[in-house]
């Protein structure tokens, strides 16, 4: 059973601090990795995609991938209350299927 694991949270972070969200996956053949943000009652929206080991930065967001450890993370710098949402990790496995984690609920406290 291919799995993507995330801590369900909630993760509470003060406004202006760095929020760190983590995800592990079981399929070593996984090819692509995605972070989606989902506000309550809304559909997921793509935040970041990462395909190779290392860091990828986009504005306040940094995705980090370590294929040897089967670990992908998302850092949010200068956290804002509007960042409060559930963050979903999705992994494209060796069979090209997208496997989703259950999401981490992030709360940014003003």
Partner 1 sequence: GAGVSQSPRYKVAKRGQDVALRCDPISGHVSLFWYQQALGQGPEFLTYFQNEAQLDKSGLPSDRFFAERPEGSVSTLKIQRTQQEDSAVYLCASSHTTTGGWNEQFFGPGTRLTVL
Task: Enumerate binding residues for partner 1 (CB under 8 A).
Answer: 4, 8, 32, 34, 42-46, 49, 88, 90, 92, 96-98, 100-103
Closer Cβ to partner 1, 43 or 69, answer by number: 43
CB of 109 to partner 1, least distance (A): 21
Place of tokens 């053949």: 29
Tokens found for residue 81: 């209350």
Closer Cβ to partner 1, 31 or 66, answer by number: 31
d(CA 15, CA 93): 35
CB of 94 to partner 1, least distance (A): 10
Tokens found for residue 43: 């559909």
- Bridge partners, residue 106, by sequence: 11, 85
Closer Cβ to partner 1, 43 or 82, answer by number: 43
CB of 42 to partner 1, least distance (A): 7
Q: Provide the sign of the torsion angle of the four alpha carbons 23, 20, 58, 83, taken in this order.
A: positive
């Amino acid at each position: 059973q291919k799995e993507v694991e995330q801590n369900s949270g909630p993760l509470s972070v003060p406004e202006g601090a760095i929020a760190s969200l983590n995800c592990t996956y079981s399929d070593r053949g996984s090819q692509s990795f995605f972070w989606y943000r989902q506000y309550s009652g809304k559909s997921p929206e793509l935040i970041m995609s990462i395909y190779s080991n290392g860091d990828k930065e986009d504005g306040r967001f940094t995705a980090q991938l370590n294929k040897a450890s089967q670990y992908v993370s998302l850092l949010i710098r200068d956290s804002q209350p509007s960042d409060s949402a559930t963050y979903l990790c999705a992994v494209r496995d060796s069979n090209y299927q997208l496997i989703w984690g259950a999401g981490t609920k992030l709360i940014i406290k003003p």
